[in-house]
């Protein structure tokens, strides 16, 4: 017997990753190696990737709400608003002069007399306000005026006015006065007519207070 040992040939070690891959392939069924299986797996991968890309798309920012165009204002009206509650004709209170009271849809009233009192709100935060006035003519009539103003150029001021005649000459007016007097303990006065026209809102009460409390209702 020969004492020489046969030469041993060592094989390079199989990498763990390759072995794992080979074992996985051996464990897969034979029908999974066909082209149809590869196609199915490819399509699934594309679908998954497509969903991932879709989820990562940034959302479009919300559209800004359409803003209404800003209204143009009148510089002259802005000055009038800044002086409230002072009115341009406040210095004319109690002064005898020729007056013109504008009325919408009717002839303007022209007379000689005096402005007894006027009133306006202390401010107009929304750009609109009202002005109340009471005049007395030299003939003993009273004129009540209500003006609604706006600082916006596209909004026209409105003018309302009414005349109270203590001795109306027309027959319908006399009949109306007689019917009213029958239902009241005292005859109709210009103060009643002013309250009927202007009402009793806070601005009207401010106007009435400037007339020495003649509009207060006295009770016992």
One pLDDT digit (tens) per residue for the chain, 220 residues: 445 554 544 455 544 444 544 555 555 554 544 444 454 444 444 444 455 444 555 566 565 555 667 889 999 999 999 999 999 999 999 999 999 999 999 999 999 999 999 999 999 999 999 999 999 999 999 999 999 999 999 999 999 999 999 876 545 555 555 655 555 556 788 999 999 999 999 999 999 999 976 787 778 8
Indicate the pTM of the whole model: 0.63
- Tell me, what's the pLDDT at 37? 47
Establish if 44 belongs to a structural domain. no
Q: What whole-number distance in Å separates Cα of residue 136 and Cα of residue 112?
A: 9
- Tell me, what's the pLDDT at 4? 52
Contact call for residues 200 and 132 (beta carbons, < 8 A): no
Number of domains in the chain: 1
- Residue bearing tokens 């959302």: 59
Q: Work out the burial of residue 208: count CB atoms within 10 Å of its CB; fewer than 13 is exposed, 13-18 middle, 19 or more buried.
A: buried
Q: What whole-number distance in Å separates Cα of residue 102 and Cα of residue 149?
A: 13
- Tell me, what's the pLDDT at 132? 98
Contact call for residues 190 and 177 (beta carbons, < 8 A): no
Helix (H) or strand (E) run with residue 42 in it: helix 35-55
Establish if 214 belongs to a structural domain. no
- Tell me, what's the pLDDT at 70? 82
R_g over Cα of the chain: 47
- Tell me, what's the pLDDT at 138? 97
Establish if 167 belongs to a structural domain. yes
Establish if 33 belongs to a structural domain. no
To 10 degrees, the CA torsion angle through 32, 36, 42, 43?
Answer: -130
Q: Which of 109, 90, 84 is nearest to 160 (CA)?
A: 109
- Tell me, what's the pLDDT at 167? 76
Establish if 134 belongs to a structural domain. yes
Q: Which of 192, 98, 102, 193 is nearest to 148 (CA)?
A: 102
Establish if 2 belongs to a structural domain. no
Establish if 142 belongs to a structural domain. yes
- Tell me, what's the pLDDT at 45? 45
Tokens for 169, please give them.
């000459």
Contact call for residues 185 and 103 (beta carbons, < 8 A): no
Establish if 146 belongs to a structural domain. yes
- Tell me, what's the pLDDT at 71? 85
- Tell me, what's the pLDDT at 56? 52
- Tell me, what's the pLDDT at 168? 61
Q: What whole-number distance in Å separates Cα of residue 102 and Cα of residue 128?
A: 19
Structural domain of residue 93, as residue ranges? 75-209
């Amino acid at each position: 017997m020969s004492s020489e040992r046969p030469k041993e040939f060592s094989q390079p070690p199989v990498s763990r990753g390759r072995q794992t891959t080979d074992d996985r392939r051996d464990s897969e069924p034979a029908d999974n190696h066909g082209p149809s299986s590869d196609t199915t797996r490819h399509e699934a991968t594309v679908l998954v990737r497509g969903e991932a890309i879709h989820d990562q798309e940034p959302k479009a920012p919300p559209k800004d709400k359409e803003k209404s165009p800003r209204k143009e204002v009148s510089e002259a009206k802005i000055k009038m608003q800044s002086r409230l509650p002072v009115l341009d004709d406040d210095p004319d209170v109690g002064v005898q002069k020729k007056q013109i009271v504008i009325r919408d849809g009717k002839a303007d009233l022209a007379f000689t007399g005096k402005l007894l009192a006027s009133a306006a709100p202390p401010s107009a935060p929304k750009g609109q306000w009202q002005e109340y006035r009471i005049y007395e003519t030299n003939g003993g009539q009273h004129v009540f005026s209500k003006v609604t103003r706006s600082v916006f150029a596209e909004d026209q001021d409105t003018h309302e006015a009414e005349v109270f005649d203590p001795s109306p000459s027309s027959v319908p007016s006399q009949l109306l006065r007689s019917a009213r007097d029958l239902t009241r303990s005292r005859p109709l006065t210009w103060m009643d007519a002013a309250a009927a026209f202007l009402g009793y809102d806070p601005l009207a009460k401010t106007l009435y207070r400037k007339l020495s409390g003649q509009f207060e209702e006295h009770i016992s």
